[in-house]
Amino acid sequence: MTVTGSSAGVGAGAGPDPEDGTTRDNRLTLPRATHLLSFFRARAETMVTWRERDRVPEGDTVWLAGRRMHQALAGRTLTRTDFRVPQLATVDLTGQPVVEVLSRGKHLLTRIGADWSLHTHFRMDGSWHLYRRGDRWRGGPKWQVRVVLETREWQAVGYRLPVVELLARDREVDAVGHLGPDLLGSDWDPVEARRRLLADPGRELGQALLDQRNLAGIGNLYKAEVCFLTGLTPWTPVGDLPDVAEVVDRSKRLLEANRDDPAQVTTGDRRRGRQHWVFERSGKPCLRCGTRVASAEQGDPPYQRLTYWCPRCQKGPAPQPTHSG
Ligand SMILES: [Zn+2]
């Protein structure tokens, strides 16, 4: 199994996350403009479906990763741990049980024993893979492995994770306390999500949706698709939204519809090239009106992301398209 992040640093944190709003002190990050390959693969007998993904993780991806990790590891005793990040190099949690694995937005928390929580975040290029004991590891070269958690049956291998930190259980809030309501969380709070989205009325809708402090779980794909489905450009100030509840509800519905399915289909059409309304369809005809889908960077350097929209279906401000195919 797999999910993803920009990895310039390893260990306890790596740079402000453009989608997270965090500026945790000892991080340094080189955000990537390109979408890197990530692989969501495992074999049927390892209870994970074989998929390939070619984009950064969104909340649904991390939710699914968390669930699969939980199914494999929870209630099992760790027979070996191997932390390959300098600040955790001497840590050994062998003999401790994995209590639970859960996602919060795009963060993953692996609760170990009575006292510890392993916090990982994937950013652009990180991933967790699950292997049966004895299976060949396929997540990348060995030097990219940051952490290994092993039970009698499973090996969970974390590749290229830019954030690997061990927290005291009661300090989880340090890692995820800043997050807004989790779109896939059991404590989802739409009223609070709406309040946070509207707190800065001049903010562009696309930027506000990506900010995990507003609502947790949306990445670049769902941002573009939610804006399309709402009929507004990503540059529309949130204060101009005719119905913020609709935006929040659509976001939740899209993530929920995809959380069990790595394919991330937003159109209901699983055919190649038709799975998304506008995301990564620059220059192609809009699936609704036929107009060529436009794209341009949104956000301030170095955190700008390529954003997609249909100039006809979506009303509101927009820059000159910078990419057309
Ligand atoms: Zn259109």
Distance 127 CA to ligand 1 centre (A): 34
Is 57 known to be catalytic? Answer: yes
E runs forming strands in 41-97? 51-53, 80-83
- Find the mean pLDDT for residues 92-98: 98
Q: What is the pLDDT of residue 27?
A: 28
Q: 111 by DSSP, 3-state: which?
A: strand
Q: What is the pLDDT of residue 58?
A: 84
Do the beta carbons of residue 42 and residue 49 sit within 8 Å?
A: yes
> Does the pLDDT at position 309 exceed 90?
yes
Ranges for all domains in the chain classified under CATH 3.20.190.10: 38-176
> Does the pLDDT at position 235 exceed 50?
yes
Distance 273 CA to ligand 1 centre (A): 15
> Among 27, 41, 106, 203, which one carries the catalytic annotation?
106
| Cα–Cα separations (whole angstroms), residue 320 to 151, 298, 309, 311 | 53, 11, 12, 10
How many angstroms separate the first and last alpha carbons of the chain?
A: 31
pLDDT-derived band at 301 (thresholds 50, 70, 90) equals confident
Dihedral pair phi/psi, residue 175, rounded to 5°? -90, -35
Ranges for all domains in the chain classified under CATH 1.10.8.50: 190-309
Distance CA 230, CA 252 (A): 13
Distance 279 CA to ligand 1 centre (A): 12
Dihedral pair phi/psi, residue 224, rounded to 5°? -65, -40
The pTM of the full predicted model, rounded to 2 decimals, is 0.80
Q: 266 by DSSP, 3-state: which?
A: coil
- Could you give the angle at which helices 220-230 and 244-258 cross, rounded to 10 degrees? 130
Q: What is the pLDDT of residue 61?
A: 87
Return the CATH fold of 190-309: Helicase, Ruva Protein; domain 3 (1.10.8)
Q: What is the pLDDT of residue 19?
A: 54
Strand partners, 37: none
> Does the pLDDT at position 222 exceed 70?
yes
Distance CA 197, CA 200 (A): 7
> Does the pLDDT at position 55 exceed 50?
yes
CATH superfamily of 38-176: MutM-like, N-terminal (3.20.190.10)
pLDDT-derived band at 56 (thresholds 50, 70, 90) equals low
- Find the mean pLDDT for residues 132-146: 94
Higher-pLDDT residue of 42 and 63 is: 63
290: left (phi over 0), alpha (psi -120 to 50) or beta: left
Distance 253 CA to ligand 1 centre (A): 21
> Among 18, 31, 58, 165, which one carries the catalytic annotation?
58
pLDDT-derived band at 47 (thresholds 50, 70, 90) equals very low
